[in-house]
């Protein structure tokens, strides 16, 4: 595993964990198929993972956040994709462990709090246009709150951060439904946790989500180059997929 950056004089107080699957066709973004082929869905997912790595690194550097970055890997951190990400992006690899998403997230929090971090955040990879300020605001929120959530428009969340382990927040949650954020907030209230909410953002799970992302990327291209949000890699991928979808849907 990678060591913390050698030029840091003080150890980071926070850990930011990017939850990711290897871009294996048939195992990622399956709700986009058959609109996309399994290979296309895997390519898009891989680009999203790279976007999240690049944007989290940019946020840490821009705002000088006291954050170490981790990549929580499925099916295994030994996959060559993750080894390349470790070498190129300076993240520490973790294996996702657990029978479902809630178990895996709870385990990641437990592992990193046990390593001495005071604040731990998890973020997904389906928000390639998430503003860098959201990462800064998440870090700042936990100086005044016990929990921070980044709600997604579909009722889930794209980010969760805590100041201590709370495995009860991940128990008996119907993952991939529109009840995830609401039930998590109910559990937080029952546990007397002070919760901060980031702005609602769109993630990409369905073909409707993908079409909305394509439209947003087209609008993004009209901005001055220095103001554009999407990476050239993802913009190019979305442009190609848009052409193929138009052909298939005609």
Residues ≥6 apart with Cβ < 8 Å to 236: none
CA distances to 44, 130, 245 from 231, in Å: 12, 12, 21
The tokens for 169 are 């927040």
CATH assignment of 14-202?
3.90.550.10
Peptide bond into 18 cis (omega under 30): no
User: For residue range 80-97, what is the model confidence (pLDDT) as tens digits?
Assistant: 999 999 999 999 999 999
Per-domain residue ranges for the chain? 14-202
Query: What is the average pLDDT across 26-37?
Result: 96
DSSP string, 181-237: HHHHHHHHHHTT--EEEPPPB----SHHHHHHHHHHHHHHTTS-GGG--S-HHHHHH
Q: Give residue 31's pLDDT.
A: 95
225 CB neighbour count, 10 Å cutoff: 7
Which pTM value belongs to this model? Answer: 0.92
User: For residue range 57-69, what is the model confidence (pLDDT) as tens digits?
Assistant: 999 999 999 999 9
């Amino acid at each position: 595993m990678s060591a913390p950056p050698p030029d840091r004089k003080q150890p980071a107080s926070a850990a930011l964990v990017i939850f990711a699957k290897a871009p294996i066709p048939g195992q990622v973004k399956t709700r986009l198929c058959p609109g996309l082929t399994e290979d296309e869905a895997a390519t898009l997912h891989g680009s999203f993972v790279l976007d999240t790595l690049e944007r989290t690194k940019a946020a840490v550097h821009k705002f000088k956040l006291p954050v170490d970055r981790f990549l929580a890997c499925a099916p295994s951190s030994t996959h060559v994709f993750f080894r390349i990400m470790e070498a190129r992006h300076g993240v520490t690899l973790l294996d996702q462990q657990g029978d479902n998403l809630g178990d895996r997230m709870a385990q990641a929090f437990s592992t990193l709090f046990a390593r001495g971090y005071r604040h731990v955040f998890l973020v997904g990879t389906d928000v390639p246009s998430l503003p860098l300020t959201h990462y800064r605001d998440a870090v700042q929120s936990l100086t005044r709150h016990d929990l921070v959530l980044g709600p997604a428009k579909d009722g889930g969340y794209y980010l969760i951060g805590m100041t201590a382990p709370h495995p009860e927040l991940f128990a008996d949650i119907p993952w991939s439904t529109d009840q995830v954020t609401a039930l998590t907030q109910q559990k937080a209230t029952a546990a007397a946790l002070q919760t901060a909410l980031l702005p609602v953002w769109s993630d990409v799970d369905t073909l409707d989500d993908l079409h909305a992302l394509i439209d947003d990327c087209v609008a993004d291209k009209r901005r001055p180059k220095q103001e554009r949000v999407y990476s050239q890699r993802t913009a190019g991928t979305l442009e190609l997929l848009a052409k193929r979808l138009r052909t298939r849907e005609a």
